Structure 1
Amino acid sequence: MTTSLPLDDVATAFLELAELVYARDEYDDIHDAICRAALRIVPHCDHACIATLRGGHQPHLEATTDDVARRVDGLEWETGEGPCVDAIVSQRFEWDPDLTRDPTWPRLASAVLESTPVRGMIGYRILVGDRKAGALNLFSDTPGGFDEAAANLGAVLAAFASVALTAKDEHDVATNLRTGLASNREIGKAIGLLMATYDVSDGDAFEMLRTTSNGLNLRLAEIAGRLVDDHNGRANETAS
Structure 2
Amino acid sequence: MTTPSSRETTSAFASLAQLVYTGNGPDDVLGAICRTAVEIIPGADHACISTLHKNQQLVTRAASDDVAALMDRLESEAHEGPCLDSIVEDSVQHDPDIRSNSKWPRLAELTLARSTVRGMLGYQLLDGLSGRAALNVFSETPDALTQESVDVGAVLAAFTSVALAAAEREASADNLRRGLHSNREIGKAVGLLMAAHKVGDEEAFQILRSASSRTNTKLADLAERINASHRDGLT
Where structure 1 has 5 or more consecutive residues not aligned to the other structure, the ranges are none
- Aligned residue for 1:186? 185
Q: 1:26 aligns with which of 24, 28, 42?
A: 24
Question: Aligned partners of 1:146, 1:167: CA distance in 2, in Å?
Answer: 29
* CA distance 1:70–1:215, shift in 2 (3 Å): farther
Partners of 2:51 and 2:59 within 8 A in 1: yes
Of 178-187 and 206-215, the range deviating more from structure 2: 206-215
Alpha-carbon spacing, 1:74–1:199, altered in 2? closer, same or farther (3 Å): farther
1:110-147 deviation per Cα after TM superposition (whole angstroms, max 9, x unaligned): 22222111111111111227961511111111122212
Aligned to 2:92: 93
Of 172-181 and 25-34, the range deviating more from structure 2: 25-34
Scaled by the length of structure 2, the TM-score of the pair is: 0.87
Q: How does 1:1-240 map to 2 (within 5 A)?
A: 4-22=3-21, 24-27=22-25, 29-52=28-51, 60-128=59-127, 132-236=131-235
Does the Cα contact within 8 Å between 1:4 and 1:149 map onto a contact in 2?
Answer: no
Question: Match of 2:224, as an amino acid?
Answer: G
Distance change (3 Å), C-alpha of 1:112 and 1:213: farther
Residue type of the alignment partner of 1:91: D
Quickly say closer, same or farther: Cα 1:136–1:196, change in 2 above 3 A: same
The 8 Å contact of residues 58 and 73 in structure 2, kept in 1 or not, is answered as no
Q: TM-score, normalised by structure 1?
A: 0.85
Q: Does the CA-based 8 Å contact 1:129-1:166 persist in structure 2?
A: yes
Between the two proteins, what is the percent identity of the paired residues?
47
- What's the C-alpha RMSD, in Å, of the aligned pairs? 2.6
Structure 2 counterpart SS, 1:117: coil
Can you list the C-alpha shifts for 1:49-101, whole angstroms capped at 9, x where unaligned?
1123579x885422111111111112223333222222223332122222211
3-state SS in 1 of match to 2:126: strand
Give the direction of change, closer, same or farther, for the CA distance of 1:151–1:210 in structure 2 (3 Å limit): same
Q: Is the 8 A contact 2:96 2:120 kept in 1?
A: yes
**Per the alignment, in what secondary structure is the counterpart of residue 172 of structure 2?**
helix
Change (3 A) 1:192 1:78: farther
